[in-house]
Structure 1
Amino acid sequence: MTKASDPQPDGSTPPPSAPEGTGLGEGGGVLGRWFAPVKIPRDAIATLRALAARGSLVFVMRSPGLLGFLYLRWFLRRAGLPPLRAAQGFHGLTGWLARVRRTRRAFEDAVAAGESSLVFLGRPDAEKNPLAALVRQQRDLFQPVFLVPVLLVWSRRAQRLQGSIWDVLYGSPESPSAFANAIAFLRAFRRAVFDVGRALDLKEYLAQRAAEPDASVALRVRGALHQHLAREFRTAVGPPLKAPSRVREKVLRDRSLRAAIEAVAAGTGRPAQAVVAEAEKDLREIASNYDPVFVGVMRALLSRFFRRLYTSVEVDEEGLARLRRAAGEAPFVLCPSHKSHVDYLVLSWLLYENGMTPPHIAAGINLAFWPFGAIARRGGAFFIRRKVKGDRVYTAVLRAYVKHLLRDRFPQEFYVEGGRSRTGKLLFPKTGLVSMEVDAWLDGAADDVLFVPVAIDYERLIEASSYANELAGGEKRKESLRGLLGAARVLLRRYERLYVQFETPISLRQVAAERLGARAASLAVDEAWGGEAERRAAPGAAGAGDDAEAKRQLVQGLANRIAYGISRAVTITPVGLVAAALLSHVRRGLGSEEVARRVELLRYVAAEGGARFARDLAGAPSDPRQAGPIADAVRRLARDGLVRVEVAAGDTIYQVVDEKRPLLDYHRNAVIHRYVAPALVASAARAGGTGGSTAAEVRDRALWLSRLFKLEFMYRSGASFDEIFESNLAFLVRVRAVDCDAGRVLPGPETTALAFLADLVRAYLEAYHLAAAAALAALGSDAPRQAPLDRRALVREALERGRGEFLSGRIALRETLSKATLENAVEWLMAQRVIAEEAGKLRLASPASVAELRAIMDGIAPHLAM
């Protein structure tokens, strides 16, 4: 993880002139001034040193250029790598100015001596392929030759399908003129990126093609390297840009969209041209207007924005480098957690800063207000309506647009949670856009699609106060220009650290093969009304519904895996640990020693699960009285009025200010997924009382709780419930929270640890108990006659009922009164068919619902005993 406070929040190494993490001294000379700021991949130097120790390095660039040559020569010298001694494909005046040996003999001598050399691929020519001699030489060499593709990007000017006057002056972005390189170098050397691709082991490559002629192998090698560099270049500057009119024309020609338009016209009797006009209007509402020049200008503004707002931006360097490597192999979709409007900005900024094309971002139509909508479209945003059910034309247009982005290999970004999380907890994944990406893949838009889970975490949230108001029952404010101008006051405050973590990309092709095997190839595209999948699913059709159900399971499984990936990538922050320690307590305050024990236990649990921690937590004390990140977090919470610190009887007592508990609860929820499994088992064990329960009884209670909270938490994928239960029960035994004796589970010596872990989910238990009680009171047979309630009204009734129970002491925790949690509880009751909805109004689903609601309340009650 790297610190970016000036503002370099990237996954690259410090430049070679900076000693941190590279082992390089200060860059000197004239070139050092210009070349030192160039970003290079964090692991590039170590990788190249390891290759140089085994064989000869032959670097490969696409087009001859003096600046590229000079930088590579400078870089190798500063990195302590074998010096650059020869070059091939470097003809004309620039080659002469480079003062490098360019003969075939000099090149072969450099390779044989283990020195570095350079090959410019240039234009394809079988007779002048500079790699042909290298292939022949490798057959006679014992040591391997490593062909290392490298790309130096000075300019981020995107290629356009139609040429312009700039192409006459500067050449194309893929093959710029010397003049263009010089201008871009002088203007943007501080933002330049040097990318080192995956090396090709020529000795191993030839061993697999021993009988193939050298000339044929040389052409294959050249083609592979050229294709690799082309992909890397496209990763940096993006696909060729089309005019908006050209994009609209292409999308409206989509086969699936045309079929949908014809079906709507035939089904409604409308003229086909009128339906086409509606589709074009919808497309204008959706489509972005991506402008790389505008993005370049915004980069400088965003750098100042992040430097002003955050102490630092902490970035997962390894994950970012992994993403860059993956971007050359297949189109990717970023799937970040969604907690703040800042999420829209940070990933685009990070990718641009690290030599990658910013993504096209799926945003809610509520953000398309003037002038933000126009600005966001130029940054790559495309806008989606929140509710599209029943609008067949709009849905088909959106599917066609997503397919266009995938086919043209534009990076994409969407939030699998749908909207922003008001609670800090990951929301249950939505499948709409995931399904559209799967359909585009099935339709052949790409060979594979990589979904990249990303966790974006904040030590202090800009929207914290507005979220607390919404959770207490307040209405969400509509986004507008007035609100945007009012938000300018956030620039006057400091919001501590921001963390960005990348999980391993998830291959759609691999997930489909794992879940469906050979059957994945037979799935049909959902043609968005009237397509093949719909016909197969029609009643009476052969295999009716089988393919549709298989695809639904694939989409849901993929969405769950993405959500679980996000949860794995979440950063465990000091403020999250402190919040979890203080809030999982039903009495007034906690002494410092108990806080330290709780924080230490939380760190232990998270570490066992492979969690990612904030950088400064490594080796830091858990005691809030000792200098370190935990003490700093407590100090900030006290300064902000969330925690009161008192000293009595020689001990320091920490009390959460009651009215501010929902604000602190946000940080607890941000990390709670790491503790849900042991918390549910601890709650199930504690519910047996001092006499304990059989292991089977504890298992059944834990299983019931996991099903109760299936809309709240993401559980570990790829493992059965029994595996998860057994491992967490063993953990509780290890920390002495429980004892297992003769098949019974009893409270262990560390009863405080058992209570603490169990109370981590107490607010959710109280909220679900409250929702069931409110539904029984409002909808049951004994309820007073009143107008039928809708969902929002039932949640309001539950909040008001809960306020009374909290004030009277029957509910212990204020954060129980969370509108978001109560909405989930009502949704769960509907999913269990305890309550039903007709024409927007709620009722009990059956005569047995009263007994079922009471059974739910009775099932929760033992877990709330103190």
Structure 2
Amino acid sequence: MSTRQHFYRSLIKLPLSLFVRSSSIPSNPVQDLNLDLTRPIVYALPFSSQTDLLTLQKSILQLGLPDPLGSIKVGDKLYPRYVFISSGPKLFNPASDLPEHTMTLFTQLLRLHQQDSELDIQVLPTTVLWGRKPGKEGNNKPHLQPLNGLQKFKAIVTSGRDCLVRISPVVSLRYMADNHGTDQAIAHKLARVARIHFSRQKLAASGPNLPDRDTQFKRLLQSKAIEKVIQDEAKARNISVEKVRKEAISIMEEIAADFSYNMVKTGSRFLGWLWNKLYQGLNINNAATVRRLAQDGHEIVYVPCHRSHMDYLLLSYVLFNEGMVPPHIAAGINLNFFPVGSIFRRGGAFFIRRSFKGNKLYSTIFREYLAELFSKGYSVEYFSEGGRSRTGRLLQAKTGMLSMTIQAMLRGLNRPVTLVPVYIGYEHVMEVSTYAKELQGKRKEKENAGQVLRTLRKLRNFGKAYVNFGEPISLNQYLNEHAPDWHESINPIEPQKPQWMSPVVNSLANKMMTHINDAAAANALTLCSTALLASRQRALSREDLERQLECYLELLRNVPYSPTATVPSSSASELIEHAIKLDKFVTEKDKLGQIISLDRQQSILMTYYRNNIIHLFALPSLIAQLVVQYQKISLKQVKEQVRKLYPFLKAELFLRYEVKDIDSMVEMHIEELVRQQLIIQKESQLELNSARLLQVNLLARTITETLQRYAIAFTHLRVSPYLDKAELEKQSQVMAQRLSRLHGINAPEFFDKGVFSTLFNTLKAEGYFDTEGQVVSEKIEDIAMDLSALVSPEVKLTIEAVMNQ
């Protein structure tokens, strides 16, 4: 290093330490980017800048990576550990192309791989971003621009606290040398690859240029679809075109977001304070997958589950702090009240009416606005359930927004569109007590400023929150597989609804919801709630609760539900201690030890948290219930009964296993239950282990209420085979309410009409009705007898008594 460089670095270290507070994305690059620290690393930066280099150095050292200002040794020679792809601009000169010394270094490093077959130098593209404010629409400057000295000084002073160090996926020089050679042309190609990384890093971090709202509205008014509907409306209502056009502008004002980076940045700081006030920690998983999609230029559509009003705030905060652009969010018009509405709008919310069926003007404008967002490259978020889940389970998806997403693709989008399912979970949902009241008949309170203030006054520690990004779904690939001719329906002017649309959207919605559940986060409260609610008295000794949690944890760890689901790393004892501190349980001590229980009100509320993860235990719980009820049962019988019941569980709980794979999954779970000594296997015979009777009973009861509900519906169909869907749902719901009162079933979803509706639809899909809509009596009788054996004698008697009235 020259004396001049050393002096300059010493000179700028002080102002950098005063003005710059950078964050690094990803925060765990070794794991997220699969870095091998035993192999040499060379950092590639876009422009020659000692300021960027020193800022990078500070972040890199905090991440535990090698010092960029060090050197790598190959053979007897030392090589620099960093390289600039461009010389960068001087005060009066623009940036130059690839510097000669960079070209020389890349060529030398590539040739070293020719000489040493074991060598693999990793090139790590890194960018230091001074602020992430997007540009204005109409600005054709490149996303990533070099800064001269004065511009850099201004950036340090104004954006030093908004500095982001982004690290891209590694480029292997071994791969380059083996597949492309080691000559000078390959060195040029390597530099081009690095430049693409840099440009994508900036675009993924700041997003596309933002539109001027007036300009955006004028552009929308000029679309042929909106112009046509305006003309049609004027003619149909016998009013002037200008009057309809004013209505159209008014609708655009009502719908459109007014995204402000300053609002997002300020909001992020406020939300950082809020989360620290509310939660003991945010657990974020699989964000690296989403970053890769953003850097690869995908149009991302986030589809989270909807537990709380906190969801959209939490997801936007997480994305911003993971180095991505917060999405434009489809929010219900009920949230557009003063002063929250304008804040949400500037944070990226666009508002949608609950229903606009029959309003052609509104529906066309909304569809065109959504297509505009996609065409300009803004990520979008919508809650496919349509509203917040009051029971803690996923609701059946509303498919309107999904249909409009595919219709936007049929306008001829150039980029791939990818759905990113998101599981959001909490150890405490602020609205959970309100949900319980609503399920008991209280009217939903309209959102208003007073409600927000009352909520803020109740701020306290709510445990942990979880944001798990699920497995992405490529819409282009999905359409290629399920509607191979979909490209023929592309029409950039008029939206199309081809015949394949409805069945494809319905199956896609089911897959989307399944991927959300795949990414579930088990935690202290959900696991403790599951165990305590399975106990008849809603109470367990500390020792029994600990053993039950150990059973759950071993099941989830040894037979993982999915690659995206997460399981706590803490021990059962640590989880219980954490759950007790959340003040949800009644804890008492006697001479024999500690008893942990739920009072009646908390029992109702805790069903919400159990329902968040009930799908994780549906299959092992059903197996346990079969063994418990039959005492001794063959493996063949277990598989047969699971195969019959699984389609109903799969439809209701969005389970991930395909029916063809269910036998192997049953075997894996039985193997784990045997390993835990919950059941005993003698050749092909399964039986209870009396020494672990409590644990296997608690596991079995997790699915008991679901089986009771099925028993109600199938008994109705067996006795009255001519019931139509509406009557079956109504009568099943009435009987479920009776059962709930008589047997102390606290779960609000036990008599939920929507659950019975899903059951009826599955009956049709699984052939329990013939082509003429008549009940197939033999199949109904068969499964009704199976279910009768799986419910308790007292529940069976109640069902029979009601049926005989």
Question: TM-score, normalized by length of structure 2?
Answer: 0.80
Q: Which among 161, 178, 193 is matched to residue 164 of structure 2?
A: 193
Answer whether contact 2:45 2:82 (CA < 8 A) is retained.
no
Q: Which among 553, 574, 577 is matched to residue 631 of structure 1?
A: 577
Alpha-carbon separation, structure 1, partners of 2:149 and 2:355: 52
Alpha-carbon separation, structure 1, partners of 2:472 and 2:790: 38
**Correspondence list, 1:197-596, <5 A:** 197-202=168-173, 204-205=175-176, 208-210=179-181, 214=184, 220-254=189-223, 279-316=248-285, 319-329=286-296, 330-491=298-459, 493-512=460-479, 515-516=481-482, 519=484, 522=487, 524-525=489-490, 531=496, 533-534=497-498, 537=499, 548=500, 551-552=501-502, 554-587=504-537, 589-596=539-546
Q: 1:70 corresponds to which letter in structure 2?
A: L
Q: Which among 595, 617, 620 is matched to residue 571 of structure 2?
A: 620
Alpha-carbon separation, structure 1, partners of 2:495 and 2:378: 28
Q: 1:861 corresponds to which letter in structure 2?
A: S
Answer whether contact 1:158 1:240 (CA < 8 A) is retained.
yes
**1:159 to 2:125 alignment:** no
Match of 2:700 in 1: 758
Match of 1:727 in 2: 668
Shift of 1:757: 2.4
Gap change, CA 1:152 and 1:325, over 3 Å in 2: same
Alpha-carbon separation, structure 2, partners of 1:699 and 1:47: 39
Gap change, CA 1:266 and 1:717, over 3 Å in 2: farther
Answer whether contact 2:729 2:756 (CA < 8 A) is retained.
no
Q: Which among 605, 625, 633 is matched to residue 683 of structure 1?
A: 625
More moved, 476-485 vs 719-728: 719-728
Q: Which among 643, 646, 650 is matched to residue 706 of structure 1?
A: 646
Alpha-carbon separation, structure 2, partners of 1:790 and 1:46: 53
More moved, 701-710 vs 495-504: 701-710
Alpha-carbon separation, structure 2, partners of 1:507 and 1:499: 24
Gap change, CA 1:257 and 1:713, over 3 Å in 2: farther
SS at match of 2:551: helix
Give per-residue Cα distances to partners, 1:316-372, cap 9 Å, x unaligned: 3xx223432331112322222221111111121122233322111121222222322
Q: 1:351 corresponds to which letter in structure 2?
A: L
More moved, 701-710 vs 190-199: 701-710
Q: Which among 539, 548, 556 is matched to residue 606 of structure 1?
A: 556
SS at match of 1:564: helix
Gap change, CA 1:794 and 1:148, over 3 Å in 2: closer
Shift of 1:221: 4.2
Alpha-carbon separation, structure 1, partners of 2:69 and 2:495: 62
SS at match of 1:654: strand
Gap change, CA 1:111 and 1:423, over 3 Å in 2: farther
Shift of 1:804: 5.0
SS at match of 1:248: helix
More moved, 406-415 vs 31-40: 31-40
Question: TM-score, normalized by length of structure 1?
Answer: 0.75
Alpha-carbon separation, structure 1, partners of 2:626 and 2:423: 30
**1:61 to 2:46 alignment:** yes
Alpha-carbon separation, structure 1, partners of 2:82 and 2:76: 7
SS at match of 2:442: coil
Shift of 1:300: 2.1
Alpha-carbon separation, structure 1, partners of 2:131 and 2:341: 27
SS at match of 1:452: strand
Answer whether contact 1:119 1:130 (CA < 8 A) is retained.
no
Structure 1 vs Structure 2 CA RMSD? 4.6
Q: 1:862 corresponds to which letter in structure 2?
A: A
Q: Which among 756, 759, 771 is matched to residue 825 of structure 1?
A: 756
Answer whether contact 1:85 1:117 (CA < 8 A) is retained.
no
Q: Which runs of 5+ in 1 are unaligned?
A: 1-27, 87-107, 538-547, 623-627, 783-787, 835-844
Alpha-carbon separation, structure 1, partners of 2:438 and 2:777: 30
**1:118 to 2:118 alignment:** no
More moved, 217-226 vs 119-128: 119-128
Alpha-carbon separation, structure 1, partners of 2:255 and 2:429: 29
Gap change, CA 1:127 and 1:589, over 3 Å in 2: closer
Q: Which among 778, 785, 792 is matched to residue 865 of structure 1?
A: 792
Gap change, CA 1:35 and 1:442, over 3 Å in 2: same
More moved, 720-729 vs 661-670: 720-729
Gap change, CA 1:404 and 1:744, over 3 Å in 2: same
Answer whether contact 2:16 2:156 (CA < 8 A) is retained.
no
Q: 1:824 corresponds to which letter in structure 2?
A: V
Answer whether contact 2:522 2:567 (CA < 8 A) is retained.
no
SS at match of 2:265: helix
Alpha-carbon separation, structure 2, partners of 1:289 and 1:511: 32
**Correspondence list, 1:132-171, <5 A:** 132-134=103-105, 136-138=107-109, 140-142=111-113, 147-161=123-137
Matched residue pairs, number? 759
Answer whether contact 2:541 2:593 (CA < 8 A) is retained.
yes
Answer whether contact 1:288 1:382 (CA < 8 A) is retained.
yes
Gap change, CA 1:377 and 1:757, over 3 Å in 2: same
Alpha-carbon separation, structure 2, partners of 1:346 and 1:231: 25
Shift of 1:714: 1.4
More moved, 46-55 vs 307-316: 46-55
Answer whether contact 1:49 1:81 (CA < 8 A) is retained.
no
Answer whether contact 1:563 1:714 (CA < 8 A) is retained.
yes
Answer whether contact 1:699 1:725 (CA < 8 A) is retained.
yes
Shift of 1:45: 6.7
Match of 2:26 in 1: 41
